[in-house]
Structure 1
Amino acid sequence: MAVVDSANSCDVEELAGHPGSSQSTELLMLGALGVVYGDIGTSPIYALREALHASSGGNVADRTDILGVLSLIIWSLTITVTVKYIMFVLRADNRGEGGVLSLMALARGSFPKRSALMLGIGIVGASLFFGDAVITPAISVLSAVEGMNVVTPAFQPYVVPLTLVVLAILFAIQRFGTGGVGLVFGPVTAVWFLAIGLSGLNHIIADPEILWAISPYYIVAFLIHSPDVASITIGAVFLAVTGGEALYADLGHFGRKPMVLAWLSIVFPCLLLNYAGQGAFILANGGVVGHPFFEMNGGWTLIPMVVLATAATVIASQAVISGAFSLTRQAVQLNMLPRLQILHTSEKQPGQIYMPRVNLLLALAVVILVVGFGESSKLASAYGISVTGNMLVTTVLLYVVMTRIWKWKLSVAVPLTVLFALIDIVFFASNIVKVFEGGWASLVVAFTIVLGMWTWVRGSRYLFDKTRRNEIPLDVLAGNLLKKKPQLVSGTAVFLTSDPLSAPTALMHSLKHYKVLHEQNVILSVVTAPQPVVPDSERVKMETVNELFMRVTLTFGYMEQPNIPRALAICRKQGWKFDIMTTSFFLSRRSLKASPNSGMPVWQDRLFIGLARSAADATEYFQIPTGRVVEIGTQVVV
C-alpha cells in the first residue's frame, strides 16, 4: 500500500520505471525532476521577494540586505538540502522506501521500549505534512497567476478567480490518475529549470559582483546590520527550501542515485543561478523589490515565463496532492486512520491511487485559503511552520536510526544531529512567530490531523481491549466444539478478526443464531508489517487448531493494497486447497454507541464513533468478492 508523509509522492513509474528496473538513470532523473523537485523548483517565484520585504521593511533593500539574504538562501539550500537530505536522510531507506512514516516505522521497530513515543512523533510529522499539502497548491498557483500583474496591473481583480479555476481543474483531474499527465511532468520541469537558470545567468553576467554572496561573511554582516528583523527574514528565507522534504518521500519511486544526480547536475545549479540573478537585477534597479522573478524577464520572454511558471506550479501541486493520497493510505495501513476508499487509476502501477474523500477535503481547504488570504505574500506566513516542523521531526527520527540501526558512534551522530536540529529549530522559531499573521492556518490543519489520528489510535486500542475481555479464547471454543459438534455444513467459512486468539464475534453470533458450523473454519487476521513490501514467501502463516479450525495470518507491507483472495491462493502451496467459490467470508459490522463511562472523554468518544462510521467497507477494502460475504451486525458500547 502506498503511503508517504510525507512529502510529495506522485508515482511516475510509467514514465521512468521502478528504481529496480532496467530503465536508464537519465529517464529516472527526468521523472524525479517533475515529481520530486517541482515544489522546491517553484520557490524562486516568491522566496527572495518575501525575504527582502521582511529584511527591508518595505519595497527598497540596500546592498547589505540583498547580499545577506541571498547568502542565507544559498547556504540554506546547501546545508539543509544538499548535506542533510542528499547526503544523509536519503540513506535512511526502509527497504527502498522513504517518507516520515517510513522513518517512523524504522525507528519504532528499533526502539520497542519507546514504541508509543516513536508513534507520536510519526503522527506529528504526518500531520505537519498535511499542512504542507494544503498550503503548497494555494501559494504556488496563486503566486504564478500573480505574474500576470507584471504584464498589466489591470489583471489584479482576476488573480483569485483564475487561481480558483486552475485549482478546480487540478483537483478534478485527480480521478484520472497521474500516469497520463506524468509523461509531461519531467520534460516541462526540465524546461522550467533551464529557463530560470538562463534567466538568472543573464543578470549575473551584467553584475558578477553578486557572486560575492557565496561567502557566509555577508550573512554575519546582515545579522549585525539588521538584528531587529533577522528572525522574520530567516523565516522568509526558509521558503527557498520548502519542497526539500519531498526528496525523502519519493525515494522509493526513483532510487537515491537518480535523485542525487538530478539535484547536483540540474536543480541545485539552476536554483542558485536564478536567485543570484534576481539579486543582481534588484541591485541594478536601485534595490527596488517588486516582483523580481517576473520583472527580470523583459520583453517577449515575460508572458512565456508566466505560462511556464503556472505549469510548473500545477506540477508542484500535483506532486504534493498525490503525496497526500499516499501518506493517507500508509496511515490507514498502520492503523493510524480508519479505512478510506482507495481507487486504483492504473492497471499496471499499483502506486497510482485516487482517494475521493481526501481529494475533496484538500480541495475545500485550498479554496478556503486562496479566498481567505487572497495574496501569496499573506500565504507565505502560513507556509513555513508545517514544513519546518516536518523537517525537525525527520531530524529526531534520523538520530534514532543513526544510533540504533546504523550503529554510528555518538561522536559522529550527535554533532550531525545538533547541526541539523539547530538549523531546523532556528527556521521553526522564525516561522512560529508568524502564527497570528497566517501561520495559524497550517497549525489548524496539523492539529486537526493529530487529533483525528490520536483519537483513532486510542479508540481502536480501547475497543480492542474491551471486546477482548468479553470474548472466549479460540482454543477453548474449538476444543468444546470438537467434543460436541453442532450441525456441520459443507464448505469453508473464513472469519475476519483483529484478534486471532479469541473467538470472532461473527463466529459466536453465527453459532448462536444459525446453530451450524462449516466443515472447515478459518480464523483470519490481517497485519501490517513495518516494511513497505512483504514477499509472497512471508505473506501467509498457517496454524492448525484442530480438525475444525485453522488460524491464518496474512501480512502486507504498508505500501501494499491488501487483497485477501489473492493472498489466500498462496495457501495452496502449504496444503490448504483454497477455493473462492466454496468459501464464505464472515465479517462483523460493529455499531458503536457512546457511553458516559467510556475510557475516553465524551467528545473524543463521539469523534471516534464518527471516524469509525466514515470507514470504507471492509469487503471493498480487502477486495473480497461481494457475493461471498456475510456480514453480521453487533452493537458495542464504547
Structure 2
Amino acid sequence: MHSSPSPNGSEPDSPRRIALTALGALGVVYGDIGTSPLYALRECFHGPHAIDASAANVLGVLSLFFWALIIVISMKYLAFVMRADNRGEGGMLALMALVMHRTPGGNPGRNRQVLVWMALFGAGLIYGDGVITPAVSVLSATEGLNVATHVFEPYVVPLTLVILIGLFLVQSRGTAGIGKIFGPVMLLWFGTIATLGMRSILAYPDVLRAVWPGYAVEFFLHNGVHGFLLLAVVILVITGGEALYADMGHFGRKPIRLAWFAVALPALLLNYFGQGALLLRDPTAENPFYQLAPPPLLYPLVALATLAASIASQALISGAFSLTRQAIQLGYSPRMEVVHTSEAEEGQIYLPGLNRAMLVGVVVLVLTFRSSSALAAAYGMATTAAMSITTVLSYVVARERWKMSRAVVLPMTAVFLAIDLSFLGANVVKVPDGGWFPLTLGLIIFTLMTTWKRGRELLAQRMRAAALSIEALLESFGEHPPTRVPGTAIFMTGNSEIAPTALLHNLKHNKVLHEQTVLLTIQTLDVPHVPASERVEVESLELGLKRVYARYGFMDDPSVPDILKRMREAGLQFNLMGTSFFLGRETLIVTKKPGMAQWREAIFVWMSHNARSATAFFRIPPNRVVEMGTQVEL
C-alpha cells in the first residue's frame, strides 16, 4: 500500500520513487480532507448554523476556507509539526514519546505529567474522529442520490450501513490488495473535483477575489457572534490534518508534501471556489458539490464519491489500529490480538476486537443521527481539541529537542494555537447537538488508558514489596543449593532486578532449578523501532543463570520466537523441546489500600481479565508454557 522511508531514517531520493510514494500518500493520507468538499460548504449555508448565501458571505466563507488550508495544513502541519518525528514516526503517541523523553532544562515532573495526559486525551479524541469520519463521509456521499431524485431518500441510511458494514468486514483481509487502487482512485477523485470546480469558476471568475483575507475580516465584522460560531463548520475543511502527521512514518515528509502541494491543495481550492461560484450564481443551491456536475454525470459522481469516502474511512480505521498498537507497547492498553495482514508491510495490521467495537460505534452513530448534517454537529470537536494539543506538544519539542529560540517559536505557535482555540471555542456550542459524543468517547478512552498505566505501576509496586532481589536469591543458593535438573527454563519478568514470582513458586513447590535458567525481560523503548541487531542483550549471572533483555520500539511487535533466535546468535544454546516457559498469573483483588480509587481498581481488574494472554501475545509455544498463580491485593 505504501513505501516506507529507508531503514537509516533518510527518505528515498529517487524522483520516481518519491512520485510513486506520493501517489500512495494521496490515497491514504488525504482521503479524509479530500472528501470534505462533499459537505463543508453546504453546511455553511444550509446546515444547523447556516447563514444567508449573500455574495459577501460566500466570499467571506471561501476566504476562511482558503486561509485555513494555507495556515493550518500547509504551514502548521506540513512545515512545522511534521519536523517533530520520532525516528521517522509521527502521530499523537509518537509526539508524547518525544515529550516523555526528558532533556536537560526540561519542565518539572508535574508539568511533564500534564503534557502526557493531554497527549492521551488527544489520542482518545482521535478514536472519536475515527468513528465519526466513516459515518459522515459515507452518509454525505450516498446523500448525493437525493439530488437526482427524492425516490432514493428512504434508502440512503440502509445503503450507508451496508457499505460501512462491508468496509469493516473486509478489514481482516488487509489493505495490501485494495490498497493498490487507493492512490489512483484518489487521483481520479481529485482530478474530477478540480475539473468540476474549474468549470464553474470559468463561468464566474469573480469568485477568485476571495483569496484576499480582507473578505474573511469583513465576514466576522458583519456577522459578529454568528460568524465566529460558523468556524465550527469551517473546521470541516481541515479535518484530516492529524492524519498527515500520523502517517508520516509510512511515507516520509517529501512524498506527503508533494502530494499536497501538487494535487490535493489545488484540487480542493478549485472545487471550493467552484462551489462558491455556483452559490454566487444561484444562492438557493442546496447541495453545491453535486450540483456542479452535469445531470448525466451525477450517478457516476455519487459512485466515485462513495468510493472516495470509503477510502477516507479506511485511512482512519488503519490509523486507529496503529494507534492502539502503540498504546499497547507504551503500556497504556492491555494486550490485544494483533494480526499482520501483509508479509511485506509491517504497518499493515488488523485488530479484531477494536474493529468490532468501531463497527458498533459507527452503526449506532448512523442510526442515531441519520444524516450527514446532523453528524456534522458531532464532527469537528475531536479534531479541534486534538489539533490544539498537538500545537502545545510541538512547542515543547521545538524548545527542548530542536533548541529553537523562544523568541522564534513562541509567536509562531501562539498564532497556531489562537487559530486552534478559535475553532475549538466555536465548536463548544455544538456539544449538546452531538459534540458530546467524541468528548465522551475521548474521556472514556483517556480513563481506560490512565487506569491501565497506573494499575500496572501499582501492581509492580505490590509485587516488588513482596519480592526477593536476584542478589539475595543467589546468596540463598550458596547456603541451600537447589537440586539441578536438565533443560532450559525461561522465566518472564517485568523487573529484571527481582526474582520472578514464578521462579520462587517453582523453587518452593518443585524444589528444583534448571541447568540453564533465563530471566527474560521485554522492554519497550520510546522509539518506534529497535534494529534487530540491537534487540537482545545477554548477561551472565552466577550458577549458570542468564539475564536477557529484549528491547523493542513502540511500533514493533515483541515475539518470543524472534527473541530465541537472537539469543542463539548471542551464544545461548538450547533445545526448544527441552525448554519450558514459566509465567506468573496474578489474581487481582480490589482493596481500600491507597494508590487508586476502588472504582478504577475494579476497571483495572476487568481490563486484566479481558487482556490477551501473554502466551498468545508474545507467540510462545503454548505446549511449553507453565503458569504459576499468585494473589495480589491492589
Q: TM-score range by the shorter chain?
A: over 0.9
Q: Which residue of 2 aligns with 1:3?
A: none
| Aligned counterpart in structure 2 of residue 254 of structure 1, from 238, 251, 262 | 251
Does residue 198 of structure 1 match 2:195?
yes
Q: Is the 8 A contact 2:48 2:373 kept in 1?
A: no
Q: Is the 8 A contact 2:59 2:207 kept in 1?
A: yes
- Percent of paired sites with the same residue: 47
Provide, for residues 419-461 of structure 1, a one-character-per-residue CA deviation record: whole Å limited to 9, x for no partner.
Answer: 1111110011111221001101111111110111111111111
Q: Which residue of 2 aligns with 1:469?
A: 465
Which letter does structure 2 place at the counterpart of 1:630? V
Q: Distance in 1 between matches of 2:557 and 2:191?
A: 38
Question: For residues 418-433 of structure 1, what are the structure 2 equivalents within 5 Å?
Answer: 418-433=414-429
Q: Is the 8 A contact 1:105 1:530 kept in 2?
A: yes
| Aligned counterpart in structure 2 of residue 42 of structure 1, from 21, 35, 50 | 35
Deviation at 1:348, TM superposition (A): 2.4
- SS of the aligned residue for 2:23 comes to helix
Q: Distance in 2 between matches of 1:237 and 1:573?
A: 57
Q: Which residue of 1 aligns with 2:265?
A: 268
Q: Distance in 2 between matches of 1:551 and 1:557?
A: 20
Q: Which residue of 2 aligns with 1:69?
A: 61
Provide, for residues 457-479 of structure 1, a one-character-per-residue CA deviation record: whole Å limited to 9, x for no partner.
Answer: 11111111111101111110122
CA spacing shift, 1:369–1:199, aligned 2, 3 Å: same
Name the count of aligned residue pairs. 626
TM-score (norm: length of structure 2)? 0.96
- SS of the aligned residue for 2:472 comes to helix
| Aligned counterpart in structure 2 of residue 27 of structure 1, from 20, 24, 27 | 20
Worse-superposed segment, 483-492 or 504-513: 483-492
- SS of the aligned residue for 1:439 comes to helix
TM-score (norm: length of structure 1)? 0.95
Q: Distance in 2 between matches of 1:570 and 1:15?
A: 25
Worse-superposed segment, 517-526 or 106-115: 106-115
Q: Is the 8 A contact 1:55 1:230 kept in 2?
A: no
Q: Distance in 1 between matches of 2:230 and 2:427?
A: 9
Q: Is the 8 A contact 1:16 1:27 kept in 2?
A: no
Does residue 52 of structure 1 match 2:45?
yes
CA spacing shift, 1:384–1:16, aligned 2, 3 Å: farther
Q: Is the 8 A contact 2:46 2:286 kept in 1?
A: no
Q: Distance in 2 between matches of 1:110 and 1:381?
A: 39
Deviation at 1:100, TM superposition (A): 0.9
- SS of the aligned residue for 2:521 comes to strand
Does residue 452 of structure 1 match 2:444?
no
Q: Is the 8 A contact 1:382 1:435 kept in 2?
A: yes
Which letter does structure 1 place at the counterpart of 2:407? S
Deviation at 1:90, TM superposition (A): 1.3
Q: Which residue of 2 aligns with 1:8?
A: none
Deviation at 1:56, TM superposition (A): 7.5
Q: Is the 8 A contact 2:250 2:347 kept in 1?
A: no
Q: Is the 8 A contact 2:4 2:251 kept in 1?
A: no
Q: Which residue of 2 aligns with 1:487?
A: 483
Does residue 226 of structure 1 match 2:236?
no
Deviation at 1:418, TM superposition (A): 0.3
Provide, for residues 181-240 of structure 1, a one-character-per-residue CA deviation record: whole Å limited to 9, x for no partner.
Answer: 101100000000000000000010000000000000101111111113122211100100
Q: Distance in 2 between matches of 1:473 and 1:263?
A: 56
Deviation at 1:55, TM superposition (A): 9.4
What are structure 2's unaligned runs of at least 5 residues?
A: none
| Aligned counterpart in structure 1 of residue 325 of structure 2, from 326, 329, 354 | 329
Q: Which residue of 1 aligns with 2:378?
A: 382
Q: Which residue of 1 aligns with 2:290?
A: 294
| Aligned counterpart in structure 2 of residue 94 of structure 1, from 83, 86, 89 | 86
Q: Which residue of 2 aligns with 1:283?
A: 280
- SS of the aligned residue for 2:244 comes to helix
Deviation at 1:15, TM superposition (A): 14
Q: Which residue of 1 aligns with 2:117?
A: 120
| Aligned counterpart in structure 2 of residue 567 of structure 1, from 563, 584, 593 | 563
Deviation at 1:598, TM superposition (A): 5.5
Which letter does structure 1 place at the counterpart of 2:388? L
Q: Distance in 1 between matches of 2:82 and 2:247?
A: 10
- SS of the aligned residue for 1:297 comes to coil
Q: Distance in 2 between matches of 1:543 and 1:128?
A: 43
CA spacing shift, 1:19–1:313, aligned 2, 3 Å: farther
Deviation at 1:623, TM superposition (A): 1.5
Q: Which residue of 1 aligns with 2:395?
A: 399
Provide, for residues 27-80 of structure 1, a one-character-per-residue CA deviation record: whole Å limited to 9, x for no partner.
Answer: 10110010000000000000111122369746x511111010110010000000
Q: Which residue of 2 aligns with 1:82?
A: 74
Q: Which residue of 2 aligns with 1:12?
A: 2
Q: Distance in 2 between matches of 1:576 and 1:197?
A: 62
Deviation at 1:570, TM superposition (A): 2.0
Q: Distance in 2 between matches of 1:357 and 1:110?
A: 34
